[in-house]
Every structure is written in structure tokens, then in C-alpha cells.
Amino acid sequence: MATRPVEDNARRSAAAPFVGPQDVAGKNWAGEVPPPGEYPYTRGIHREMYRKRIWTMRQFAGFGSADQTNQRFKYLLEHGQTGLSTAFDLPTLMGRDSDDPLALGEVGRCGVAISSLDDMRRLFDGIALDQVSTSMTINAPAAILLAFYIAVAQERGIGADQLRGTLQNDILKEFHAQNEYVFPPRPSVKLVIDTIEYGAQHMPLWNTVSISGYHIREAGASAVEEMAFTLADGMCYTEESLARGLDVDEFAKRLSFFFDVHNDFFEEIAKFRAARRIWARTMRHKYQAQHERSWWLRCHAQTAGVTLTEQQPLNNVVRVAYQAMAAVLGGTQSLHTNSMDETLALPTEQAVKVALRTQQILAHETNVTQVADPLGGSWFIEKLTDEVEREADAIFREIDALGGVIPAIEQGYFRRRIAETAMRQNNAFDNGEAVVVGVNKFVDDDYVRVPILKIDPAVEKQQVARLAQMKKDRDVKRHGAALAALDRAARDGENLMPHLIAGAQAGATVGEMMNTMANVFGRYDGGPEW
């Protein structure tokens, strides 16, 4: 199918030099943009917004071994942070153990390496799991890492119902964009629904899925595509959960979202506003949710990694500041600001601090927190919000015409469309139509290079050795029985969460449990979809 690229904001606004009341004539103000805190929440989900509570400043971190990250966690907790955010290394993200041949050179590099329950124990050693909120950025093996977390808590006498936190667990965007999938789309989604069901029954404080547009955008999608694909994914999880027999109000309030904030300032703000409106209407009318909380689109935002440049890295501080402001004017619930040196490697401590200070300046010096949705009622913002919504609707219709999100994945729709947009952006950059300061305009070679953090290769050796020891020490019979039970349950289509927890307790590793499931579900090779 030929894809027609979404009109981007630049072209959209090229139509007129300014916007006036005639552009929003006939608008249903009371129905579409009622005060903040009122359905359909175009202006935000809370009436008082940041006056009552500043957004959460959540900086994502994790590196090296479980012990190193544990030290870091404790340091953060001592300094008043209450939420922990865990980044895993690439092998763990791909459901492979640290000793897997493909893990070579990657162990502990971009996050912490967790292969077994033992690693998870050490990661949270001495941390009160009933008091912290933990977010885990993991997808294909998310159910296994959640099982590890639950098992560690159980050992300490803490029930699953006391655990608070968020699991990213959004496999659909992996198929669209980030490529960290393992099984084919259908069984992958089935596994997500297993966690949603388990969460609805046992974990009332846990956010089971963080439906993410961030990676879709970073892969090259436009703002509208990012938002529409993400909401379509949310609808897909909702429908699959309903098909499982769950009640919409049982799980909908535990769904949250995660968006990118790019450079196009007003378009980004409009994106957040339109997303809230679409989601509220869909949950209320299409899926018949009764509780107000089920209608809310709660989200986390992160500034756009792709906009950072290696050249003149100090410029990135400025980009991040504008993007952060757009996220806040858009009404986000939490925010991560990127560090200026992230194009090259993990950020240095100095750079991380500047990124956090950027948020603090925004929160405490600029006074943008004074009123909710300060741009509401601007002719331009309202018109743009309507346009973004309309274009998103067109995308929903395309997806429906293909039979829904999963069939659209199977037909390559998302990947093709993202590749198309990425190509268009790249051409615009190449021919100078899209300016990147310091790269294709205002270039100079006389700039300060920021220092780069390097990871000690010894981490990999130690981790591999520890894993070998753990495998030697475990009870072979119990381990074999647990994997056999998992295999059987996967074949019978049962909810796998209890079996993954049992597997964790029997010393089964991430890689072993993934393999057991892959034998039943198959492995997916995705495809390029140019």
C-alpha cells in the first residue's frame, strides 16, 4: 500500500502567516475545551495541575552490574528520590543471558545486566520494596523481569499487592520501531495481556503497561504518527484485555503513556492535548469505561534523543530546555530531560545534573506552573490541536482498514510508514531545507568536546562468571520441572505469570525462560519494510 506522508507542521502553518478567530469559527468550545480537569481533558487531567503538584522529574539510570546499580539506587534514595528507574543492558532487553554469544561486548554497557533471580536480589538488596516505586524499562522479557521482582518481594514477605511501579511492557512499538521483540506479534501481545490480567487481580498499585510513542518517534515518525500509532496500540491492548474477559475499569486506569518531545514547539503541545481528548472519548464511548480515571491519559515524556547533535554539544542544553517546556505546557505528568552528551555514550554525571537542573529551573523560576494549560484558547493552538486530531483519525481509519493493529504489523504498515517519513526528513536535512544548527548550518569546528564515560569491561567477565556459578549451584530437578511446566502452560494457552514466578524461584534464567516460550511461540524475524 502506498503511504501518504502526513503533512508536517511546517507545511501546515505555511498556509497562513497568522491564525485568527475565523480559523476556529464554529468550534464547540464547551464540549471540546472545557476547563482543565473536565472531560475530555484537552486542557489536562487535573484542574490545579502543577500548582498542586509539580510533574515528577524522573531521570532514567542504570549501568554495569547489579551491585553497582544497587549502590546508585541507594545513593538516590538517600538524597530524597522516591522512584527508581531501571535501565537494562541490551542482552537483558533482548531476553538473553549475559553468557549468550550475541551478548559479547554488550553486558552492562547501556544498563544493568539481569539474568537470574539472584541478580534481581542483588539489584534491590537493602531497598524496601514496599516503600519505593520502581520503573522498569523492558519489553520482550518484561513478564519475566516482573516475575523476578515479585519473587524477590515474596522472599522478604512483601505481597505483590504492595508493589508500586511501572513496567514498560509495550511490545507493539517494538514491532513498529525499536526492534526489541522476540516472539511473533500475537503471542507477544498475549504475554502482555497475561501481565495485565495478573496485575488486575494481584497488583492494584502497579502500572502494567507504559504505551510508548517515544521510540516510534525516534525511529523517524512524525508527531501525528507517533501519537496515532501509540493510541492505536493502547486500543489494541484494551481490546485484547476485553477479549480475555477483563472489565475495562479493572485495567484501564493502570495503563499509562510515554511520549517524545521534539523541536516543533507548538505542534508538540497540540499533540499532548489532542492525545488526551482522543483517549478520553475512546475509553468512554467505544469501550464504555465508567470511571473517570479510566478516561485519563496519564503520560511520561522524554526530550527527543534524535535531536541531540554530537557537534557543539552545549547547544543540546538549549534544545532540551525548549522541548522540556513544550512537555510541561502540554501537561505531562512526568519528564525525563536528556543530557547533552547522550549522542556518544552514557551521560556523564555533570551532564546529567545539568539536565535535571533544566527541569528545576523550569519548575521554580519560569512560573509556567502558575496556571493549567496557559495556551488553551489560543486560536493557533486550538486549530493545531484539531488538525492533529483529524490527521490521527485518518491514521486510525487506515489501521482499521487493514484489520487492526496486529494485522497492520503483519502487513508492514507501521514500519513502512515510519521509514517513509524518516526518508523524507533525511532528504530535507540533506538539501538544507531542515536546518540543524551546528550541523548543516552555522557549522564551526571550534567547540568544546565533552568527556565521554567509558564502561569497565571487567563487568562483563564477572557477570558471566557469576552466572556460571549460579547455574552450577541450582537444583537441577526443580529447575527442569519448572521449565517443563512453563512449556506445558504455554502450549495450553494459560496465563504464564505464575509459571514465570515459579521458574524464577527455581533458578531459571531470562534466556532459558525465553527459549522455552520461543519453542512454543516461535521467533519473529520482523523484516525491513523499506
Ligand X SMILES: Nc1nc2c(ncn2[C@@H]2O[C@H](COP(=O)(O)OP(=O)(O)OP(=O)(O)O)[C@@H](O)[C@H]2O)c(=O)[nH]1
Total of residues contacting other proteins (CB under 8 A): 44
Min CB(516)–ligand X separation in Å:
21
At 234, give phi and psi (nearest 5°).
Answer: -60, -40
Question: Looking only at residues 418 through 447 of this chain, which bind other proteins when binding is defined by CB under 8 A?
Answer: 419, 422-423, 426, 430, 436, 439
Q: Any residues with CB less than 8 A from the CB of 437 and at least 6 apart, and which?
A: 309, 312, 315
Return the DSSP state at 333: S
Rama region for 158: left / alpha / beta (φ>0; ψ in -120 to 50; rest): beta
Question: Looking only at residues 349 through 368 of this chain, which bind ligand X when binding is defined by CB under 6 A?
Answer: none
Stretch that binds other proteins, among 281-289, 340-348, 366-374, 389-397 (CB under 8 A): 340-348
User: Which residue in the set 263, 309, 378, 462 belongs to the binding site for other proteins (CB under 8 A)?
Assistant: 309
Of the pair 444, 525, the CB lying nearest ligand X is at 525
User: Which residue in the set 19, 158, 205, 344 belongs to the binding site for other proteins (CB under 8 A)?
Assistant: 344
Residue that is written with C-alpha cell 469505561 in the block = 289
Pick from 177, 188, 158, 171: nearest CA to 422: 177
The strand pairing partners of 261, in sequence order, are 303
User: Which residue in the set 33, 57, 84, 90 belongs to the binding site for other proteins (CB under 8 A)?
Assistant: 90
Strand order in the sheet with 83-87: 83-87, 133-137, 164-167, 206-207
Min CB(149)–other proteins separation in Å:
23
CA angle 100/152/346 to nearest 5° reads: 50
Question: Looking only at residues 347 through 386 of this chain, which bind other proteins when binding is defined by CB under 8 A?
Answer: none
Of the pair 180, 373, the CB lying nearest other proteins is at 180
Distance between CA atoms of 406 and 402, rounded to whole angstroms? 9
Min CB(37)–ligand X separation in Å:
45
Min CB(437)–other proteins separation in Å:
12
Of the pair 215, 415, the CB lying nearest ligand X is at 415
Min CB(131)–ligand X separation in Å:
45
According to DSSP, the β-strands at 164-167 and 133-137 are parallel
Distance between CA atoms of 342 and 278, rounded to whole angstroms? 33
Of the pair 402, 450, the CB lying nearest ligand X is at 402
Q: Any residues with CB less than 8 A from the CB of 494 and at least 6 apart, and which?
A: none
Which listed option, other proteins, ligand X, none, makes contact with residue 140 (CB within 5 to 8 Å by class)?
none
CB atoms under 10 Å from CB of 265, counted, come to 16
Return the DSSP state at 352: H
Of the pair 349, 525, the CB lying nearest ligand X is at 525
User: Which residue in the set 5, 480, 493, 522 belongs to the binding site for other proteins (CB under 8 A)?
Assistant: 522
Of the pair 415, 479, the CB lying nearest ligand X is at 415
Which listed option, other proteins, ligand X, none, makes contact with residue 451 (CB within 5 to 8 Å by class)?
none
Whether the Cβ atoms of residue 80 and residue 73 lie closer than 8 Å to each other: no
Distance between CA atoms of 430 and 447, rounded to whole angstroms? 23
Question: Looking only at residues 202 through 231 of this chain, which bind other proteins when binding is defined by CB under 8 A?
Answer: 218-220
Is there binding between residue 527 and ligand X (CB under 6 A)? yes
What is the number of the residue whose Cβ is closest to ligand X? Answer: 527
Of the pair 187, 330, the CB lying nearest ligand X is at 187
Min CB(95)–ligand X separation in Å:
19
Residue that is written with C-alpha cell 514500519 in the block = 415
Helix (H, G, I), strand (E, B) or coil at 88: strand
Pick from 379, 271, 373: nearest CA to 24: 379
Distance between CA atoms of 213 and 414, rounded to whole angstroms? 12
User: Which residue in the set 54, 77, 110, 434 belongs to the binding site for other proteins (CB under 8 A)?
Assistant: 110
Of the pair 422, 481, the CB lying nearest other proteins is at 422
- The count of residues in the chain is 530
Question: Looking only at residues 467 through 526 of this chain, which bind ligand X when binding is defined by CB under 6 A?
Answer: 525
Min CB(457)–other proteins separation in Å:
9
Binding mask 254-273 for ligand X (x = CB under 6 A): --------------------
Of the pair 400, 430, the CB lying nearest other proteins is at 430
Type of residue at 338: N
The strand pairing partners of 255, in sequence order, are 209
Pick from 310, 306, 308: nearest CA to 449: 310
CA angle 362/208/35 to nearest 5° reads: 45
Contact positions vs ligand X (CB under 6 A)? 525, 527
Contact positions vs other proteins (CB under 8 A)? 90-91, 93-94, 96, 101-106, 109-110, 178-180, 184, 218-220, 309-311, 343-345, 411, 419, 422-423, 426, 430, 436, 439, 449, 452, 522-528, 530
